[in-house]
Amino acid sequence: LEAQLFQSQKMESIGRLAGGVAHDFNNMLSVILGCAQLALREAEEGSPLWQDLDQIIHAAKRSSDITRQLLAFSRNEVIAPREVNLNEHFAEMQKTLGRLIGEDIKMTFQPAPELWPVNADITQLDQILVNLAVNARDAMENGGVLTVATANVKVDSSYSQYHLDAAPGDYVQLSVSDTGCGMDRDTIDRIFEPFFTTKEVGKGTGLGLATVYGIVRQHNGFINVYSEPGQGTIFQINFPRFAGGAAVGEHGAAEAALAGS
């Protein structure tokens, strides 16, 4: 428990620091981007100067993507939780995610019937889906299958002893599985650490799963990860069941806090 507390305090301070840097850095980037775009208009299209400016603009945009991720990671707050059915929400996102992963990866959806609702922030849900889908895509460079499924699950107190984030109660599970490269034990142990990445420079920031973890914990949920090198990976995201404002099991206080923030 102490280790977990330490981890969340560490995440919080790194988040605050990163957010501060990202904010100032972003202001500077806007100046670079703005000036380069103005100068580009003056340059003759295709000339060496034009090409240099074009590269500056590309690099500045890429940097601004990274700072946006940093900001999202550090902000990390529940903006507007509301009652959501994950089956319906995923159906709305499916097209966008399909474009993101490309045509070499097949996507299948296995919605559970009579899925319980959750109380969640839509923007943050999208962030989770996008981060998991991007990681799955990167793990399947030669194509493969991305499976998204939902389920109602019950957590009892014996499981809670085994998984400290999982308070006993009812949960709605969103699982995202890929048939990609998988991970070894040492990698799995570090994936939620901010800035941990195995991707080449410029491709990964190491903030995707740290962000996912932060969002899920804010919703009082928990995550399971199963992975084998060469076999693929399963991420199971579990959100507490929402029961229309009334307290449910041991999540009552947590849900009231979410609804009020």
CA 34 to chain centroid, in Å, comes to 30
Choice from 139, 215, 254, 258 touching ligand ADP (CB under 6 A): 139
Q: Is 133 in the site for ligand ADP (CB under 6 A)?
A: no
Q: Is 82 in the site for ligand ADP (CB under 6 A)?
A: no
The least CB distance from residue 245 to ligand ADP, in Å, is 34
Structure tokens belonging to residue 104 = 């070499």
Structure tokens belonging to residue 84 = 């959501």
Q: How many CA atoms lie within 13 A of 221 on its CB side?
A: 26
Q: Which is nearer to ligand ADP, 119 or 211 (CB)?
A: 211
DSSP3 helix / strand / coil % (the chain, rounded to 5): 50, 20, 30
Which position's Cβ is nearest ligand ADP? 208
Distance CA 119, CA 198 (A): 33
Q: Which is nearer to ligand ADP, 81 or 182 (CB)?
A: 182
Q: Is 205 in the site for ligand ADP (CB under 6 A)?
A: yes
Angle between helices 2-42 and 48-75 (to 10 degrees): 150
Distance CA 140, CA 160 (A): 33
Q: Is 206 in the site for ligand ADP (CB under 6 A)?
A: yes
Distance CA 78, CA 122 (A): 10
Q: Is 198 in the site for ligand ADP (CB under 6 A)?
A: yes
CA 96 to chain centroid, in Å, comes to 15
Q: Is 160 in the site for ligand ADP (CB under 6 A)?
A: no
Only one of the segments 39-47, 90-98, 167-175, 208-216 lies at the binding site for ligand ADP (rule: CB under 6 A); that segment is 208-216
Tell me which residue has tokens 């074009």: 54
Q: Is 180 in the site for ligand ADP (CB under 6 A)?
A: yes
Q: Which is nearer to ligand ADP, 191 or 215 (CB)?
A: 191
The least CB distance from residue 172 to ligand ADP, in Å, is 21
The least CB distance from residue 188 to ligand ADP, in Å, is 8
Rounded (10°) CA dihedral 189, 250, 118, 165: 0
Q: Which of residues 57-76 bind ligand ADP (CB under 6 A)?
A: none
Interacting residue ranges for ligand ADP, rule: CB under 6 A: 131, 135-136, 139, 178, 180-183, 187, 191, 196-199, 204-210, 233
